[in-house]
A = this chain, B = another copy of it.
Amino acid sequence: MNTIAGHHAPTLEAVAEAAGVSRATVSRVVNGSPRVRGEVVEAVQKAIAELGYVPNRAARSLASSRTHSIALLVPEEVSRFFGDPYFASFTTGLDRRLADSEYVLNLVVARDDPDRKAVRYVRGGNVDGAIVVSHHSGHEFLAQLEGAVPVVFGGRPEAGISTDPYYVDVDNVAGGRLATEHLIGLGRRRIATIAGPEDMSAGVDRLAGFRAALDDAGLPSDAVGHGNFTAPGGAEAMRRLLDTHPDIDGLFVASDLMATGALGALATRGIRVPEDVAIVGYDDSPAATWGEVGLTTVSQPSELMGATTVDVLLRLLRGEPDVPHANIVPTTLVRRDSA
C-alpha cells in the first residue's frame, strides 16, 4: 500500500498475468463490458484489488481518443468568479455531480486570452467537453468552442456568443412573480419594487414578474425604483420611493445587496420591517442573513444549476439524442423575518 513508491505502477499486463487472462479481457472488465464470464470478472477484480491497479489515464485517452476530462472555462478574473457566492455554490453542484462520473474538471481561466490559449486548449482535444460560466457580452471568442466539443453554458449566453446554445438558467420572470405573490399573500396591498438595471435581462425579467403578479391581483404596479445591484444604489432608490410613495407596505428588491441598502434607508426613517413594510429580496446571498432581520428572499438553486449543467453535458457526451437546449430550473422562496 505504502510501498507503491519506487515500484512501477501495475499495468493491464500485470493484472492480466495475475488473473491468468489476456490484457483484452482485463480491459473489458475495467470498462464494464457485459460479455465477460462471471467467474472471470471476479478473478480479474480480485487481481486488480490486490495489485492496486489504476488505469493509466494517458494511455486510455490515447487509445480511445477520449480524455475523460472536461473544462470549466472561466472567461474572466478568477477572483471575480470565485468571490461570488453564487458561483461558489454553482461549482459545488458541478463537482458533486461530476464526482459520480469518471470525469475530471480542468480549470481553465481566460480572463484575457490574447493568444487564444484557452480556446486552443479546448479545441486541441484536451477535453471532451466544456462548461462555460460567468460569460458576458464581449466574450465572443467563446463562439469558437462550439463545433469542437460539446459546450454547456451556466446562464443563457448573449446572442453573439452562441446562436443555439445548450444552457442552464433560472426563470427570472417566475422569480419576480414568486416574490411579489408572497407579499400579496401576506395581505400587502401597496407593493413597490426596487428593480435592477434596465439593460440587464435579470433586472428586466424580475420586474416583468413583479408587474404580472400585481396585474393578476388587480393591484397597482406603479411604484418602481431602479438600482444598480449595489447596496448604496438600493438605499438611494429606497429613499426616492419613500418620497414618492410614502404609503407602501410591501417591497420586492431585485437583489439582496440592494435590499441591505434599502433596509438601512428604512431604519433611518424609523420604518419597521416587516411590521410597516414587508420585504422580499433576491439571491439568497450570505448578505441575507448578515443583518438584524433575516431577509426573506428568492433563492436561485445555484447548486442544482451546477449539477444540471453537468447532467446536460454528460448526456451530450453520451451522445443522447434530443437533449434540450434550454434547461430552466425553478426558483424558491426562502422565508426569514422580513416578509
Interface residues of A (CB under 8 A from B): 2-5, 9, 54-59, 61-62, 67, 69, 72, 77-79, 81-83, 85, 87-89, 91-92, 95, 99, 104-109, 117, 120-121, 123-126, 144, 147-148, 230-232, 235, 260-261, 264, 268, 286, 289-292
Contact = CB atoms under 8 A, between A and B. Distances in A.
Contacts of A126: 57, 104
A232 B121 CA distance: 40
B104 A109 contact: no
A67 B77 contact: no
Contacts of A147: 2-5
A88 B99 contact: no
A77 B62 contact: no
Given A62-B56, A67-B58, A79 B89 contact: yes
A290 to B, nearest CB: 5
Given A88-B82, A109-B95, A147-B3, A125 B264 contact: no
A260 B290 contact: yes
B83 A85 contact: yes
Contact of A125 (B2, B78, B109): B2
B92 A79 contact: yes
B107 A107 contact: yes
Contacts of A55: 124
17 contacts: A4-B148, A5-B148, A57-B58, A57-B125, A58-B58, A58-B62, A58-B67, A78-B95, A79-B91, A81-B88, A83-B89, A95-B107, A104-B121, A104-B126, A106-B107, A231-B286, A232-B286
A69 B106 contact: yes
Contacts of A79: 85, 88-89, 91-92, 286
Contacts of A260: 290
B62 A124 contact: no
A291 B266 CA distance: 11
Contact of A123 (B4, B78, B235): B4
Contacts of A109: 95, 99
